[in-house]
Amino acid sequence: MNDSKDSGSNQIRPELAEVIERHRMTKDEARPEAVARRRKKGRRTIRENIADLLDDYPSIEYGSLALAAQRRRTPMEELIRNTPADGIVTTIGKINSHLFDHPKNRCMVLGYDYTVLAGTQGYFNHNKKDRMLELAYKMKLPTVLFAEGGGGRPGDVDKAETAVAGLHLKSFSHFARLSGLVPVVGIVSGYCFAGNATLLACCDVIIAAENANIGMAGPAMIEGGGLGKFHPSEIGPVSVQSPNGVIDIVVENEEEAVAAAKKYISYFQGPVSEWECEDQLRLRDSIPQRRRRTYDVRKIINTLADKGSVLELRKKFGKGIITALVRIEGHPFGLIANNTFHLAGAIDADSGDKLCRFAQLCDAFDLPVISLIDTPGFMVGPEAEKTAQVRHFGRIFTNFVNITVPVFSIVLRRGYGLGAMAMAGGSFHNSDFIVSWPTGEFGGMGLEGAVRLGYKKELDAIEDPEEREKRFNELLAMYYEHGKAINMASCLEIDDVIDPAETRQWIMAGLHAQPGPDPRSGKKRPNIDCW
C-alpha cells in the first residue's frame, strides 16, 4: 500500500535522498580539490575522458556506489568522499554512433580513476571489473581500458582475515579472454604500473600520451626488490616503449588518445558511406625512375587510401614494414608495406614480428589485407642472425599462410626472394590477386647478387676492372629484362601488370569477389599475440 497521500508527489523520501546524495558524491563536481589537482597537471578526469569517448555518457554506470575495502581503518564519510566507485568507472555506452547506427556501436569502458588512491586495484575494484568483463564477454562488447594507475593496493584491510594473496582472482584472465573476440583498446596517460600495465599489455592496441610511463613495477616494488630507487618518470617512458614496440600509437595528450581510440574501433564497426580520395593519377609518378632510389611509401598509402583514413600502428618499431588500418571506398582494410627508408626495404626480425601480429589482428576481425611490396628480401649477415631472425622469419610464414582473410598484393617495385613471398602470404599465388606496377622487377634474389653469384667465375677471370664492370652491367641488364613485371605476367607468375591509377579498382574488385566472412558466434582464433 502506498503511504503517500498523492501517488504523483514530487516529495523525495529519505531513502531516495540518500541514494541521490551518494551518487552526487561520485561526480567530479563533488570533488573540486581532486579535479583541481588534475587541472594543475593539465589533465582531465576519468569521467571527462569517458564523456569524450562515449556518445551517450552519462549512460549506464555499474558499481558506482562501491567504496574502498577500508572500513576498518577509515571513517565511512571519508571513504565516500575520497574513494568513489573504488577507483574504477565502469560503463556501457555508444561509440561512433554518428557513423554506425547498429549494435556494433556499443562499447564497454573500464576507466581507472587516478584521483582515487592513485588508480590502484582494490578488492571491490577487482570484483566490479570481473562483473563487467563477464558482461563484455557475454555481450561481445568492444572494450576500452583507461589504464592509468599503480597496480595492486595493499591497504584494503577489510578482507584481511578471509584472504591471503588474492592470486585466485579472475580479473586478468577475464580480460585476457576478450582477446580475439572483440576489439580491446588500452589508453594510458601518466603512470601505469604493475597490474594496470598487465591489463594494458593484453590489449590489441595501446594508445599512449607522450607523458606516459609504463612498467611491470612501480618505484616501490623496484626498491623493495633491491634494484634501486627510481622516480616514476624514469620507468618505461614513451621514448623507450614506443621504439621497442610496446606502444602502438603515440599521441600528445588524452584528447588525442580518445580520438585515436574512436578511430581505431571504427574500422571494426564496418564500412562508412561517405568518403573521398586523392587523384589516383599521382600514383603513376610515385616510384623513382632510378631503380635503387628510396621513396616515401607513406605518401603512396595516403594517396591510395580514402582521405583521412590511415591509422598507422607501431610506427617507431619494426621500421622496415609499415602496418596501418585504412579505408578504400569506405571499406576497412589492414595494410602492410615495405619501407625503403629502412634497410632499403629488407625485412628484419622486428619487422617480421610486427607483420605477424598485424596479420593476426586482421584475421581475428575479418579485415582483408592489402600488401604493398618493395623488398630485396630478408635481412642477411652474421649480425642479423644474432637477432634470432631464422625463427622470426618462420613466424611470418606460419602466421600469414594460416589466416583466412583475403590478401591483395601489389608489387610497387622489387619483389625478390623469400621476403617478397612472405609479404604476399607465403607465395605469390597465396594472394587473392597479385599484380605489379610497371616499375616491378622480380627475381629469386636481388639481381645484383644473382649476377655476382651466378657469374662469379666469369667475372673474376676478367682482369681489367673496367671490362669487368662493363660485363657485370651487361649481365645485370639481361637479368633485369628477364625479371621485368611484364615478363612475369606473361609467364603467369603474377596476375597482371596494371596502371598504378587503377590500384583502388583492383582492390575493390577483389573485395566484391569475396563471399564474405562465415557467420560465427565465438572467436575465429584463440587470441591475438601480445607481441
End-to-end CA distance of the chain: 62
Using the predicted structure, report yes or no on whether residue 434 has a pLDDT greater than 60.
Answer: yes
Examine the pLDDT at 161 and tell me if it is beyond 90. no
Least confident of 83-87, 226-230, 413-417, 517-521: 517-521
Q: Model confidence at 8, in pLDDT bands (50, 70, 90)?
A: low
Concatenate the DSSP letters of all residues of 124-178 into one string. Answer: HHHHHHHHHHHHHHHHT--EEEE--B-SB-TT--TTTTT-SS-TT--HHHHHHHT
For residue 415, pLDDT over 60 is answered with yes
Confidence band of 232 (pLDDT split at 50, 70, 90):
very high
Mean pLDDT of all residues in 183-206: 97
pLDDT computed for residue 7 by the predictor: 56
Residue 119 CA to chain centroid, in angstroms?
24
Measure CA 106 to chain center: 19
Q: Chain-wide mean pLDDT for the chain?
A: 93
Evaluate whether 14-266 and 280-440+484-512 have a shared fold: yes
Q: Looking at residue 448, what is its pLDDT?
A: 81
- What is the domain partition of the chain in residue ranges? 14-266, 280-440+484-512, 446-483
Cα separation, 483 vs 444, in Å, equals 10
Specify whether the CB–CB gap between 333 and 510 falls below 8 A.
Answer: no
Q: Of 289, 504, 320, 304, whose CA–CA distance to 422 is shortest?
A: 320
d(CA 504, CA 308) in angstroms, rounded, equals 16
Q: Which fold has domain 280-440+484-512?
A: 2-enoyl-CoA Hydratase; Chain A, domain 1 (3.90.226)
Gap between the Cα atoms of 220 and 230, Å rounded: 9
Give the mean model confidence (pLDDT) for residues 457-469. Answer: 88
- List pLDDT tens digits, range 40-73: 999 999 999 999 999 988 778 999 999 998 988 8
Q: For 212-222, how does the pLDDT look when each residue is reduced to its tens digit (9 = 90+)? A: 999 999 998 89
Residue 34 grid coordinates: 581532486
Band of pLDDT at residue 1, cut at 50, 70 and 90? very low
Is residue 100 pLDDT above 70, yes or no? yes
pLDDT tens digits, 340-370: 999 999 999 999 999 999 999 999 999 999 9
- CATH 3.30.390.10, domain 14-266, yes or no: no
pLDDT in tens, 261-299: 999 999 999 999 999 999 999 999 999 999 889 999 999
* Residues paired with 409 in a beta bridge: 371, 434
Cis peptide before 14 (omega within 30 of 0): no
* Cell, residue 96: 561512433
pLDDT of 158: 81
Q: For the residues of 70-123, what is the DSSP string, one character each?
A: -TTTS-HHHHHHH-GGGGEEEEEEESSTTT--SGGGEEEEEEE-TTTGGG-B-H
